[in-house]
């Protein structure tokens, strides 16, 4: 297995948060180095002298030191929900415009509203009003696009902006929660905070030190071994469709990989319980045996709410990676 990339991060930094979010979405694992901001590790400063997080160091030594670039790198590895909107140039441009507005004007006003005493001559109320004008525009977009910043669901822009909107709310919870012009934005933000992925995003780690504990991010996941088969229960009609188009894209019964973000897989001993829980009344079911060596998309074993680890495929399953298809339960 190739060495994992190294990610220098700081739990509460909004730039680092959105980088970790993209790592989660893409089904990746990285070596996690949590940074103590008052004692930044020399190894990070050697890679990125500007000293800000995130910093991603790839296995070949390439350093990526801007959060949006880390997001694009991660989603280039796998983007099962099409968060980057690669087929649509118009939406890609909208994503860039939204991120530029956030990282430019909005961050400028956020800093001077939240930390007024750090900026000589700054007027807190002026920056509050200027920041709210931007937030109101975003809220109107969300109202117009069914709960997201872009038409068609969650995008890279939503993920890049929500950590900064969260910071604004932390700075002024009463004003944010009582502003009627921010109703759509409040629901949008709460959707991120209530998502189980947010708890994974905000996992804690001690500051990294050479020779100390070397955690992975996400901390509740492991790499999937490539030397043993994986399995998936599929409705017969879904598998027939996959044979016709060359790839299988059902996450689990009734849900697509585009909706969920990955395909649920199992190890051999997990098949009976998965069948009992989700497929016992499904009728004609097939057991797919999958060769992980023939899969290019990321595989990561993630913990379900019970704590049990299940392998997940962060992309469509190529038909050629399925080595056998049998009825389940067998006749």
Higher pLDDT, residue 254 or 5: 5
- pLDDT of 2 strictly over 80: no
What residues have CB less than 8 Å from 225, skipping those under 6 apart? 292
pLDDT band at 215 (very low <50, low <70, confident <90, very high): very high
pLDDT band at 1 (very low <50, low <70, confident <90, very high): low
Burial of 303 (0-12, 13-18, 19+ CB in 10 A): middle
pLDDT band at 211 (very low <50, low <70, confident <90, very high): confident
Greatest alpha-carbon span in the chain: 79
Q: What is the pLDDT of residue 287?
A: 97
- pLDDT of 245 strictly over 80: yes
R_g (Cα) of the chain, nearest Å: 22
β-partners of residue 223 are 300
pLDDT band at 213 (very low <50, low <70, confident <90, very high): confident
The pTM assigned to this predicted structure is: 0.96
Q: What angle do CA 95, 32, 306 make, to 5 degrees?
A: 90
* Bridge-based pairing state of the strands 216-217 and 30-34: antiparallel
Nearest to 251 by CA among 291, 310, 303: 310
Burial of 110 (0-12, 13-18, 19+ CB in 10 A): buried
Q: What is the pLDDT of residue 214?
A: 87
Nearest to 271 by CA among 292, 288, 284: 288
At which residue do the structure tokens 């800000």 appear?
52
Q: What is the pLDDT of residue 313?
A: 98
Domains delineated in the chain: 6-80 (3.40.30.10), 89-197 (1.20.1050.10), 221-327 (3.20.170.20)
- pLDDT of 297 strictly over 80: yes
pLDDT band at 305 (very low <50, low <70, confident <90, very high): confident
Encode burial over 24-54: b for 16+ CB neighbours within 10 A, e otherwise. Answer: bbbbbbbbbbbbeeeebbeebeebbeeebbb
Element spanning 259, H or E: helix 257-260
Q: What is the pLDDT of residue 156?
A: 98
> pLDDT digit string (tens) for 161-182?
999 999 999 999 999 999 999 9
Q: What is the pLDDT of residue 306?
A: 85
- pLDDT of 331 strictly over 70: no
Q: How distant is the alpha carbon of residue 220 from its chain centre?
A: 14
DSSP string across 2-69: PPPPEEEE-TT-HHHHHHHHHHHHTT--EEEEE--GGG--HHHHHH-TT--S-EEE-TTS-EE-SHHH
């Amino acid at each position: 297995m190739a060495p994992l990339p190294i990610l220098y991060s700081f739990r509460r930094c909004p730039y680092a948060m959105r980088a970790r979010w993209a790592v989660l979405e893409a089904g990746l694992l990285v070596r996690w180095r949590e940074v103590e901001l008052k004692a930044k590790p020399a190894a990070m400063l050697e890679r990125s002298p500007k000293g800000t997080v995130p910093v991603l160091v790839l296995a070949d030594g390439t350093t990526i030191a801007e959060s949006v670039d880390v997001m694009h790198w991660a989603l280039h590895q796998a983007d099962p929900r099409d968060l980057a909107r690669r087929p649509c140039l118009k939406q890609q441009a909208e994503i860039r415009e939204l991120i530029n507005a956030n990282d430019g004007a909005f961050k400028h006003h956020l800093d001077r509203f939240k930390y007024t005493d750090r900026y000589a001559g700054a007027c807190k109320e002026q920056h509050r009003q200027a920041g709210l004008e931007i937030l109101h525009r975003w809220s109107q977009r969300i109202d117009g696009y069914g709960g997201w910043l872009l038409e068609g669901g969650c995008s890279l822009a939503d993920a890049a902006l929500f950590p900064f909107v969260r910071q604004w709310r932390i700075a002024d919870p009463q004003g944010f929660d009582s502003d009627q012009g921010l109703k759509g934005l409040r629901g949008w933000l709460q959707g991120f905070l209530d998502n189980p992925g947010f708890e994974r995003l905000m996992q804690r780690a001690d500051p990294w030190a050479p020779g100390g504990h070397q955690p992975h991010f996400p901390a509740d996941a492991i790499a999937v071994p490539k030397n043993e088969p994986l399995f998936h229960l599929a409705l017969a009609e879904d598998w027939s469709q996959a044979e016709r188009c060359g790839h299988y894209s059902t996450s689990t019964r009734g849900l697509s990989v585009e909706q969920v973000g990955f395909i649920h897989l199992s190890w051999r001993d997990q098949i009976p319980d998965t069948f009992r829980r989700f497929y016992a009344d499904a009728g004609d079911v097939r057991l797919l045996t999958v060769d992980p060596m023939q899969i290019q998309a990321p595989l990561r074993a993630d913990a379900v709410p019970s704590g049990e680890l299940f392998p997940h495929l962060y992309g469509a399953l190529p038909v050629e990676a399925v080595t056998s298809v049998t009825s389940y339960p067998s006749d």
